[in-house]
Structure 1
Amino acid sequence: MKIGKIPPDVLERLVFNRRGAPRREVLVGPAIGEDAAIIDLGGYYLAIHTDPISGSIKLLGYLAVYVPTNDIAVRGIPPMWLSIALLFPPETDETLLDEVTKQIDLAAREVNVAIVGGHTEVTSAVGRPVAIATAIGVGRRYISTSGAKPGDVVFMTKSAGQETASILATDFENEALKKGINKEVLDRAKELAKAVSVLREALALADLATSMHDPTEGGIANGLAEIAYASGVSIEVDPSKVIVYREVEELCSAFGIDPLETLSSGVLLATLPPDSVQEAEERLKKLGIPYSQIGRVTPVATSL
């Protein structure tokens, strides 16, 4: 199989129909585009999600917190607890472990999440450090990826490809310099690692949005496709409205990467009814978070 996400048809055939015993309290289980499972606790909803982090070494601790907690936040539920497994190759020394756990602690404090368990191991089974994190939260209501309706306006926050740009600027700094990227651009891109959480904007829009999604692997393009697939709709996008920061564009261009199709954690994709757009804009402006209206949800075209 190819590196990357498993194709939807393979997931449906070999993964999603093998989910163990049915439980009536499971309201949302594994499905294309759904960011977190939802469990009915009787008046409360538990959201739970697991993510592997393998694309970065220097930002591993930050991403191990931000990426999985994003998937809880886009449910409109505040993340509360994290369990993280850390796997290191045999050549790892304590310096890297120290840096990773410092990052985890700082990021978890920032998003008000407790680290409640996990596992730390040195193993020959991995060739580079890997984090596997499970995030959990509980709330009174939830939003699914499948809620987008025809007529909804599609919002994005921050910049497409920002996660990839931050990784390129940190883990591949020397290669970027050799490709002609200047230090000022790299410094701005490194700062994007601090904007990978969508917690603030997701919770701010939770009572307005019909669906929200966190585009990670596959980027904005894949994230929009997943919303459309899950909701049974089409999404029309104006590419000129998609935000791509200059530093993201320069780094992605230098490495031959399409910013619309690469890691974009930190971007919130949200669909909103037209009568909620003004309120959403006011809330995002108050938070100081860049945003753009990039498209509209439409019905799926039917052939005659």
Structure 2
Amino acid sequence: MNMSAKPSRLRDARVTLAHGGGGRAMRDLIEEVFTDVFQPPGSEDQARLMDAALQAPGARLAFTTDSFVVTPVEFPGGDIGKLAVCGTVNDLAVGGARPLWLSAAFIIEEGTEIALLRRIVASMAREAAAAGVRIVTGDTKVVGRGACDTVFVTTSGVGVIPAGRDMAAEDIREGDVVLVNGVLGDHGATILAARGDLALSTPLESDCQSLNHLIEAVLAAAPGTRAARDATRGGLASTLNEMAEAAGVTVTLEEEALPLRAEVKGMCEILGLDPLYLANEGTLALFVPADQAQAALEAMQAMDAGRTAAIVGRAGPRGPVPVVLRTAFGGQRIVDMLVGEQLPRIC
């Protein structure tokens, strides 16, 4: 037994409306579940921050925000807390920013197990440490039963874009090579299986991971990298459509080059889904000049987050559609934007 551990002041096993009422119960919940783990700097209503990177001439701030409402909140390979950290870190990193600080706001349903909250918060702290960022401020609200689905998390992130670094979809040029850092569709397929609505048994795990260290390695090896985007909702297909439209090019994908697990392919065939539209939470698409593509590929493959990286396509002159797929049989098919939702509540 650890005799130095502080006794818990929380007497309830589940969250009650009193934990959102602004009194002692709320203070105990915030201190024991959140601030004792995140250890934000100071105790004011705002985080007061400084970093040497902000002082560098030509450095720019990057800022992003996102909300996470996944069901179930815990799933193979992650949970809503890890998802929130990874999603926000990746949104900064794909723009060339080095993530520094995150905020985290929680909307918690009355009746949620406090033990579940502790697991989510611990997961967030581990992922933040792995990504090299700090969770420096946040908020909690408790709502009545049925007003939300267990817990919703909103995170915002601040990072610094070093001078001279400029990545944007508008910079993509004809001849640029398209790379992905990992297999496609694992997150969407994992969430679908985890819901238990279908009689599916699979060893799949979400690809949920922070990609800022991988992107830094790619930029060191291939400094001419044009643009990157994490392929979350709408999958690789929607991501490439957005990027191709912004750049005024057509992207041609090679079906045989796409990294897909047999389990994801099989699930999609059974359910009539297209894996190119399944969500990813640790997979990105990169556009790199052709003469730097091999260097970028090797840089990714040298890291755990890019072991299965592959060159999957190329940008060409603008055509009638933004993205096409060259099939294994030598034909072509249009890869359009996702219309509607294949799967609900995946991030």
TM over 0.5: yes
Cα RMSD for the two superposed structures: 2.4
For residues 53-64 of structure 1, the aligned pairs below 5 Å read 53-56=68-71, 57-58=73-74, 59-64=79-84
Q: Which residue is equivalent to 2:299?
A: 283
Q: CA deviation at 1:222?
A: 0.3
Indicate the SS of the match to 1:277: helix
What is the distance in 1 between the residues matched to 2:159 and 2:284?
Answer: 18
Match of 1:273 among 278, 284, 289: 289
**Residue identity in the other structure for 2:282:** G
Question: Which structure has the bigger radius of gyration?
Answer: 2
Structure 2 residue ranges without an equivalent (≥5) = 1-53, 322-347
**Residue identity in the other structure for 2:319:** A
Structure 1 residue ranges without an equivalent (≥5) = 1-38
- TM-score w.r.t. length of structure 1: 0.76
- Contact preservation (8 Å) 1:87, 1:122: yes
- Contact preservation (8 Å) 1:74, 1:202: yes
Q: CA deviation at 1:64?
A: 0.7
For residues 89-128 of structure 1, the aligned pairs below 5 Å read 89-124=109-144, 125-128=147-150
For residues 1-304 of structure 1, the aligned pairs below 5 Å read 43-56=58-71, 57-58=73-74, 59-124=79-144, 125-140=147-162, 141-169=165-193, 171-172=194-195, 174-175=196-197, 178-179=199-200, 181=201, 185-186=202-203, 189-190=204-205, 192-193=206-207, 195-206=208-219, 207-253=223-269, 256-288=272-304, 289=306, 290-301=308-319
- Contact preservation (8 Å) 2:297, 2:311: no
Distance 1:257 1:128, change over 3 A: farther
What is the distance in 2 between the residues matched to 1:130 and 1:217?
Answer: 17
Indicate the SS of the match to 1:300: coil
**Residue identity in the other structure for 1:243:** P
Distance 1:69 1:282, change over 3 A: same
- TM-score w.r.t. length of structure 2: 0.67
What is the distance in 2 between the residues matched to 1:253 and 1:99?
Answer: 35
Which has the larger helix fraction?
A: 1
Indicate the SS of the match to 2:157: strand
Which moved further from structure 2: 46-55 or 107-116? 46-55
Which moved further from structure 2: 224-233 or 117-126? 117-126
Indicate the SS of the match to 1:136: strand
- Contact preservation (8 Å) 2:189, 2:278: no
- Deviation readout 1:263-284 (Å, 9 max, x if unpaired): 1121110011111012112212
What is the distance in 2 between the residues matched to 1:201 and 1:208?
Answer: 15
- Contact preservation (8 Å) 1:45, 1:142: no
